[in-house]
Amino acid sequence: KYFNSKKKIFLYKNFLNFLSYLKKKNVILLCITNQPGIAKGFLKLDKLNKIHEYINFLINKKTKQFFDKFYHCPHYPVSGFKGEVKKYKIICKCRKPKAGMFKKAIEDFDLLNCKVYNIGNSIVDIKAGQKAGLKNNFLLSKLNKKNFNNKYFYYETNYQNLPNLIL
């Protein structure tokens, strides 16, 4: 369930094609992710950074593109895990569905008056984007569309279709 090894990483061709398309349009690509495995003691911060570097290496190898920055939340407030890291066992402002990481990215890249797209694979991604004030939120999920109130975000099942919806 947790990415604690480079061996577990697989990037789908449609995802790589989509990233390549976006970068060719001069889009800033940011990855915003909850990483509770750090707080739970399953993953060390330096290992996560190496995994992010490896993801960019794989993307670059296939597409000559990359993520401009990775943002992660290492926090998880629930205790009871063997080897958990106490300093990360807090209720924070960055863990999605809160908007902290999104707000930081908007500030870091001066995106306040820019058209920003949030593409997530879970409803917490969409909620975080909405709380940060983003208007273009896309849920990419294989789950049944009926499970979601589609009034406030776009729903798609495949990266192939996203270029037609954005830019």
Structure tokens at 26: 């001069």
Question: Can you say whether the dihedral through the CA atoms of 3, 61, 11, 16 is positive or negative?
Answer: positive
Structure tokens at 99: 């908007």
Mean pLDDT of the chain: 88
The whole-angstrom separation of Cα 130 and Cα 142 is: 21
pLDDT at 29 over 70: yes
Given this model, what pLDDT does residue 8 score?
A: 81
Q: Percentage of residues in the chain with pLDDT exceeding 70? A: 90
Structure tokens at 79: 């205790």
pLDDT at 78 over 90: yes
Given this model, what pLDDT does residue 115 score?
A: 87
Residue type, 109: F
**pTM recorded for the entire structure:** 0.89
Given this model, what pLDDT does residue 132 score?
A: 95
Given this model, what pLDDT does residue 28 score?
A: 93
Q: Percentage of residues in the chain with pLDDT exceeding 90? A: 56
The whole-angstrom separation of Cα 47 and Cα 117 is: 28
Position with higher pLDDT, 163 vs 133: 133
Position with higher pLDDT, 75 vs 151: 75
Given this model, what pLDDT does residue 142 score?
A: 67
CA angle, residues 146, 149, 155, in degrees to nearest 5: 75
CA angle, residues 22, 27, 30, in degrees to nearest 5: 95
Confidence of residue 2 (pLDDT cuts 50, 70, 90): low
DSSP 43-64: S-HHHHHHHHHHHHHHHHHHHS
Residue type, 105: A
Q: How far is CA 84 from the centre of its chain?
A: 23
pLDDT at 60 over 60: yes
